[in-house]
Structure 1
Amino acid sequence: AIIKSKPSGRSGRQQAEYLAAELNREDETWKTKARDLKEEVLRLRQELVLTKLLSKPNNSAGAGEEHHLSESDSGCGTGSRERAISEHTRFLQNLSGLLQLDGPALALSGEGDVVWDSVLHLLSTVVDAYREAGGGRLLPQPGLLIQASQVVARVLDQRGIHQRPPVQCLGQSEDSLKELVDLLLNNSQLNKVGEVQSNTPLICGLLRPTLVRLLLSNINHLTQHLRDTCQVRERQQPVDWARYENSFYLFWLLEHLSQAGRWKCGAENQDLLAQLESQVLPLSEEFPLLALYMWRVTALLDPMSAARN
């Protein structure tokens, strides 16, 4: 059928490749339309949540606050990705502000899925922006990315703003964090992406242990790579200098996490912390600065380690 339907001057293989490309384009078009429709449905659900909260009799925000929220910057005039980040950030900011204003009186009932959908959409959009920036595309406004991450952290720390998260939501958020850490560690464009990413940590109680585990695990993999490189020099195994340099962003994040609310490493991450601590002396001669950071982080996350050493 392909051979019979091909135009003159085009081989059967060329016709098959052309039809396959057309199908792929149509598939991408439908995927884009479906994604846009999902975004629109979520936006309408967000507006409904805010309207319900503002219409409650005990709401002290009043009509003036409602007007202020409805007239907030929607992100129009920006790129489609920046607009999506801006809209989800705006909703979470408004929601957080309302609950902060009226406290438990405005606690959500049955709307926690809207909050989680907004958080997951925002996280995935931010990850997409960093991934594409690592591939050479223009990074959205750094201030917008930092603001988005800070809003997510504030929302997930705020009591009464979300219901107990489903396992699926936690899994998706952990996947987003994992990709963010991977992009930060393996990014070769430090000045373009790394500095922005290192200033957008999700320092929230709900995801903090997960983020610490991801950071410690990646640093441990790097230190093992460095030890192997030092021990088998005759094989001329090269040092991955990009990952080495980027690891200091991970140390910065661990320092920041450890100092947020005087939080310390939990039992679930003690094995990773002990593994990191055991690498300090073996690497201190070849990589003294890295070893110093390793010792500092272990001391911050586990003060007893500093006493032992």
Structure 2
Amino acid sequence: EGINPVSYSSQLEDSGCDVSNDYAFDSLGIASDFHQSEHNVDTSKCLLEGVPPLSLCSTSKKSLTAPVQFLQHLLEIRKLSEEGILQADFTELENDSVTVRNSVSQLLDGLTVFYNSPKFPVSNFLTEAVSVLISFITNNKLSNHVLKKCFKKLEEFKKNLIQIILRNSSVNRFQALHAVSHTLVLLGRNNILRNSLISLLLPEVRKFAEQLLQAQQIQAMYDITQYENIFPLCMILEQLLQNETEESNVSSADYDGEEKIRFLENLDQIILHLSDEFPLFSLFLWRVSVLLNSAQIQ
């Protein structure tokens, strides 16, 4: 009998933390605020002057504002061009995209700074910055340029977000972890980024499972903070694999096969040994293994 995946937001609510509905996942792991951002950006949000100021240093906000505005305007020009309202030639992006590359890089660096702050505010401005980034990498005409020029930067960004989740030890960290996890799931809307993200998450979850098993076998203490922080990664991984399985036109063979083999190796035995003491984590391991195997069959 199948087990329905537990929604991300409901599990965070179980933690006792107040999670804003603005960041609740729907059945595809995508916040309702971003439903319309895949193909276009809401032009009514293009001006950022009215956004409430962040409680971080003004330099960090300023470093984000310029690339956000530039990329918003570029997306809007692309939209108008596709609708025939405006004649715009984007072929130069293929040959000279320094401005686009720099803007995306600055945006990623700025988001990393905010997410790395122990008390970063979940504000409309931050939501808008993420929305622009996701719209850019999911735009059919512009995403290829971004991936060609900024793939390494995007990989670094994803690795940084994963480490931010794993290393966060703040007492009231769960809403912050949710916002970071939400961004990773949104990045997974791009097939190429999703496959590389799956390859990054698999070894992290497997490594923790092995560490937990070792601690159990020698009856050693384990870090409860690390145990709590691994669950967002498990949820992200499950969501990405589930999305991939539901998209019949996407092949699961695109992500690293070696990481998949390492993850599944002797996993049944690990689950068996951990299931009594760590039933929830064992359940996540089992569900991820089922999704990996079902994708392989397809």
Give the structure-2-normalised TM-score: 0.66
State the identity %.
Answer: 24
User: Secondary structure in 1 aligned to 2:259?
Assistant: helix
Distance 1:294 1:141 in 2: 30
Describe how 1:176-195 pairs up with structure 2 within 5 A.
Answer: 176-189=157-170, 190-195=173-178
| Other-structure match for 1:127 | 112
| Other-structure match for 2:77 | 98
| Other-structure match for 1:51 | none
| Other-structure match for 1:300 | 291
Q: Measured at CA, do residues 298 and 254 of structure 1 come closer, stay the same or move farther in structure 2, by a change above 3 Å? A: same
Distance 1:304 1:125 in 2: 36
Q: Measured at CA, do residues 84 and 157 of structure 1 come closer, stay the same or move farther in structure 2, by a change above 3 Å? A: same
What is the count of residue pairs matched by the alignment? 233
| Other-structure match for 2:31 | none
> Residues 108 and 162 of structure 1 are in contact (CA less than 8 Å); yes or no, is this contact kept in structure 2?
no
| Other-structure match for 1:196 | 179
Distance 1:301 1:102 in 2: 41
| Other-structure match for 1:266 | 253
Distance 1:107 1:301 in 2: 42
Describe how 1:135-150 pairs up with structure 2 within 5 A.
Answer: 138-150=119-131
Distance 1:77 1:248 in 2: 32
Q: Deviations over 1:41-60 (max 9, x none)?
A: xxxxxxxxxxxxxxxxxxxx
87-96 or 101-110, larger mean C-alpha shift: 101-110
Q: Measured at CA, do residues 224 and 196 of structure 1 come closer, stay the same or move farther in structure 2, by a change above 3 Å? A: same
Are 2:210 and 1:228 equivalent residues in the alignment?
no
Q: Measured at CA, do residues 175 and 272 of structure 1 come closer, stay the same or move farther in structure 2, by a change above 3 Å? A: same
> Residues 271 and 285 of structure 2 are in contact (CA less than 8 Å); yes or no, is this contact kept in structure 1?
yes
Q: Deviations over 1:259-285 (max 9, x none)?
A: 446256435433323333324334223
> Residues 82 and 140 of structure 1 are in contact (CA less than 8 Å); yes or no, is this contact kept in structure 2?
no
Are 2:87 and 1:87 equivalent residues in the alignment?
no
Are 2:101 and 1:116 equivalent residues in the alignment?
yes
Describe how 1:13-52 pairs up with structure 2 within 5 A.
Answer: none
Question: Residue type matched to 2:290 in 1?
Answer: A
Shift of 1:247: 1.2
Q: Which has the larger radius of gyration?
A: 1
> Residues 77 and 88 of structure 2 are in contact (CA less than 8 Å); yes or no, is this contact kept in structure 1?
yes
Q: Measured at CA, do residues 159 and 273 of structure 1 come closer, stay the same or move farther in structure 2, by a change above 3 Å? A: same
Distance 2:223 2:89 in 1: 49
| Other-structure match for 1:205 | 191
Describe how 1:233-272 pairs up with structure 2 within 5 A.
Answer: 233=219, 236=220, 238-260=221-243, 262=247, 265-272=252-259
> Residues 101 and 149 of structure 2 are in contact (CA less than 8 Å); yes or no, is this contact kept in structure 1?
no
Shift of 1:194: 0.9
Structure 1 spans left out of the alignment, 5+ residues: 1-64
Shift of 1:173: 2.0
Distance 1:223 1:301 in 2: 17
> Residues 299 and 306 of structure 1 are in contact (CA less than 8 Å); yes or no, is this contact kept in structure 2?
no
Distance 1:107 1:251 in 2: 43
User: Secondary structure in 2 aligned to 1:183?
Assistant: helix
Distance 1:228 1:218 in 2: 16
Q: Measured at CA, do residues 267 and 76 of structure 1 come closer, stay the same or move farther in structure 2, by a change above 3 Å? A: closer
Distance 1:83 1:232 in 2: 51
Structure in which a larger fraction of residues adopt helix: 1
Question: Residue type matched to 1:130 in 2?
Answer: Y
- For the aligned residue pairs, the C-alpha RMSD in angstroms reads 3.1
Are 2:149 and 1:152 equivalent residues in the alignment?
no
Give the structure-1-normalised TM-score: 0.64
Q: Deviations over 1:182-210 (max 9, x none)?
A: 11122112235212212222222332222
Q: Which has the higher contact order (CA 8 A, sep 6+)?
A: 2
